[in-house]
Structure 1
Amino acid sequence: MAYDQTLVQIRERSFLEILDLALVVLRRRPVTIGLAALAGAVPFAIFNAWLTREQNLPFIGYLFLLALEIPWATAPLTIVLGGLMFGERRSVGRVLKTMMQSFVSMVLFQFFLRGFLLATVVLAPFVPVRMSFLNEVILLERGRWRNALRRSATLCNPHGGDLFGQSLAQFFFGTLFVLAFWAGSGALMKALFSSELTWEPTWNDLVGPRFHFAIWVAIEFFGIARFFNYIDQRIRLEGWEVELRLRSVGRALEDARQW
């Protein structure tokens, strides 16, 4: 693995630095990342919009459904970011092939196991504490399926408490963004297309297109952040930064000998 030819600098980062890095990378590769995010989010956004409007899905059921959908909706994004990180261009065919090869593991761990843990409520904290990087392990490392959960737990173990806190922070900031976008865009549309100066939102407004759009923007953004958090954990546990420094020292010594 060419650690010195990566999309971002190999070094340890704090959670806030990772969020900032996600914004920087998104700004540098908006088309590639945007298309990957759309490919994952659009099918689920359409399905959820239909479900909330036609089937009268309760809000708690909607949150449970979202929690199940997140790994699947961010899967194309994870694969594309894995390629970009090390200078590879992942074609549509390769993304689809990777997803098909990982389908059984995804169903087993990210549908059945994840769904069971979330449904119990009591065991739900195990999802961020032990399964935060399961998507990256399954889709990028692609080892034996029975080792995927153990590998994810190994990456999460040293910072399980931090990961749980980060998941709460993501939920909090994501909720603030969704509400701010929904309220702001609603007020703007009311001001532009109506003679009334006041805006009184209804339940139909809440579950409308603007609401779903904001939710999936937040989900895909935190999918980018999760990927770089995964990279950060590997840097810490596997000594990528130390290896790079040793290589740099080695090259400097070789240059000195040539003189």
Structure 2
Amino acid sequence: MQLDKTRIAIRERELLEIYDLALIVMRVYWWKIIQALAITAVPLTLINAGLLWAMQPDLVINETAGMFIVYMVMAIFLEAPLAGIPITVLLGDALFHDKPDWRRMCTGLWPVIPRIFWVVFLLRGILPGMLLLFWASFEEAFSPLLLLILLCGYASVLRIWRPYIGEILVLEKNPVFGKQKGAITVGLRSASLHNPNFGDLLIRGMASSISILLAGSIVMNIFGIRGFVFGRWNWDEVFLFVWFPLGLWLVVAFMTVVRFLCYLDLRIRREGWEVELVLRAEAARMKEIAG
């Protein structure tokens, strides 16, 4: 590994350049990204199906099928930060290595799983969302839907205000609680990275709403291809439990790549990360020569 010879050129980029680069990264690493996405997306899809299974007998009713789609969208929206973590780890490894290695990636990820559970699974609303989803599948009242909407709003604010918590957890591996005086915790690191750039983060958060159009386009294309090939032009169980979530997860994968590239760009703009990598690479070479 040579820190100054990365697979992605370390330099400042405009937002449109980042989206263009994300498409290139998806094309180059598409199979690895699909594998990384499956690690979390498959079990989360099964969990969501189990939570919403009580609605299954009534999916023939359009109103029930419509509410099922709304609940599934909310569930995947809340779970997106957790589902994207393996992709973030993959991209972090691919940045410095020609061939990403799953064993190396898993070894580095294992110690931070408790932090991920606390910061992402609990504080980012995934577990409360699952409980509300289970309640909503049995209860036709407006209360669980309203609480889910509020929870999604809370998650949206956090993602705009602190979008790169996942990268800090799995790539920088800061502790949640500092055991030693002066330790750089996740909170301190997040504040130093995010606070000075709130305006830029707000604009990029607004730009991420393009994911709504992407999701609609992919889902409608899946629906159309399924109809033309198999003659199924209805929202049956296979579409609602399999193909519809698949279309949404593909958007999650792409937006995770975009967020990773935005994180790199912010570190370059804020911290001069490209200079740090060059200095660290030269220090490593000097150490090898001296040793």
TM-score by length of 2: 0.70
Q: Which secondary structure state, in structure 2, belongs to the residue aligned with residue 143 of structure 1?
A: coil
Deviations along 1:149-205, whole A, 9 cap, x unmatched? 2212322223323323333332x32222222222233233323333xxxx8644758
Q: Which secondary structure state, in structure 2, belongs to the residue aligned with residue 104 of structure 1?
A: helix
Query: Please, what is the CA RMSD of the aligned residues?
Result: 3.2
Q: Among residues 194, 204, 213, which one is paired with 1:156 in the alignment?
A: 194
1:224 maps to 257
2:174 is equivalent to residue 143 of structure 1: yes
Deviation at 1:62, TM superposition (A): 3.9
Deviation at 1:59, TM superposition (A): 5.7
% identical aligned pairs: 31
Equivalent position amino acid for 2:198 in 1: G
Asked if 1 retains the 8 angstrom alpha-carbon contact of 2:4 and 2:278, the reply is no
Q: Structure 2 regions of 5+ residues with no counterpart?
A: 56-66, 130-147, 178-184, 283-291
Asked if 2 retains the 8 angstrom alpha-carbon contact of 1:177 and 1:214, the reply is no
Equivalent position amino acid for 2:165 in 1: L
Asked if 2 retains the 8 angstrom alpha-carbon contact of 1:131 and 1:156, the reply is yes
1:255 maps to none
- Report the more deviating stretch, 127-136 or 235-244: 235-244
2:31 is equivalent to residue 31 of structure 1: yes
- Report the more deviating stretch, 234-243 or 2-11: 234-243
2:91 maps to 81
Q: State how far apart, in whole Å, the 1-side matches of 2:2 and 2:114 are.
A: 30
Q: State how far apart, in whole Å, the 1-side matches of 2:39 and 2:26 are.
A: 16
Asked if 1 retains the 8 angstrom alpha-carbon contact of 2:169 and 2:186, the reply is yes
Q: Give matches, 1:106-121, under 5 Å.
A: 106-115=116-125
**Cα pair distance change 1:32/1:109, threshold 3 Å:** same
**Cα pair distance change 1:98/1:244, threshold 3 Å:** closer
- Report the more deviating stretch, 96-105 or 122-131: 122-131
Q: Among residues 223, 233, 245, which one is paired with 1:212 in the alignment?
A: 245
Q: State how far apart, in whole Å, the 2-side matches of 1:16 and 1:246 are.
A: 29
Aligned pairs, how many? 242
Q: Give matches, 1:193-212, under 5 Å.
A: 193-194=230-231, 201-202=234-235, 207-212=240-245
Q: Give matches, 1:1-259, under 5 Å.
A: 2-52=2-52, 54-56=53-55, 61-87=71-97, 89-115=99-125, 123-146=154-177, 147-170=185-208, 172-194=209-231, 201-202=234-235, 207-241=240-274
Q: State how far apart, in whole Å, the 2-side matches of 1:7 and 1:204 are.
A: 42
Q: Which secondary structure state, in structure 2, belongs to the residue aligned with residue 80 of structure 1?
A: helix
Q: Structure 1 regions of 5+ residues with no counterpart?
A: 251-259
Deviation at 1:24, TM superposition (A): 0.8
Deviations along 1:7-64, whole A, 9 cap, x unmatched? 1111111222111111112222223233222223222123224434x13376665444
